[in-house]
Amino acid sequence: MAKLIDFTSYKLDPAKVTEFRELIESEIKRANIELVEWQYLIPELGEGGSCSLFGQLQEAPFKLNEFVEPNDANKRSLAALTSIVKFVEQQNLVDWFGIYQSRQVEGITQLLKLAYFGNPSRPLFPVDENYARISNNAFVALNGQGRVINNVEQYIANGGEYYTCDPAVKSEVCLPHFSQAGEVLGIIDAEAFENDVFHQDALALFQAVCEVVPNYLPE
């Protein structure tokens, strides 16, 4: 059994999590390697590379095959993750969703975006204390603690640090996924253009995703 996220205050229904997990696994059985996106557009980064410049895209696409070997096993893994992303998109709950894996890139631990839907976003996040101060993604990967933000504006007003990629985002959930031994393997990130999106049923969906994703990460 995959390690569960601590959603004590949200009182998730285990039966609902199981229902979503079974639906996701059913979708994965129909995964198609032809749908894997090995290249995608990414934003320009601001001074120091710490912030994405929204609406300004780099001319050259990001090439995932330079970080994940496109062998048969990895193709199947990414096809499964792509089918998970498609399933989440079909629920019409969020406007952006991505699956990341912690990997050694250029000598440091970084979050690598493996599959997503929504507006272009940065492909790599360093997992260190500096980025954890401004980035939910890095914080969650570093500490293994999920973050649920149902009102970004209020969260910032109350002193929360927040990495703004898309100014339209009003709610965000960022959750870790774990190995059987409890090691953080990466994160999922979901964003919505409305407030108060992430409550019982929505979080049950993303809990189910976090239970399934570790079974399909590439080598």
Domains and CATH numbers, the chain: 5-43+60-215 (3.30.450.40)
pLDDT at 1: 34
pLDDT at 48: 53
Q: Which residues of the chain have pLDDT under 50?
A: 1-4
3-class state of residue 46 by DSSP: coil
pLDDT at 2: 40
| pTM for the full predicted model | 0.92
Query: Which class for 8: exposed (0-12), middle (13-18), buried (19 or more C-beta within 10 A)?
Result: exposed
pLDDT at 53: 64
pLDDT in tens, 103-149: 999 899 999 999 999 999 889 999 999 888 888 899 999 999 999 99
CB proximity list for 156: less than 8 A, separation 6 or greater? 162
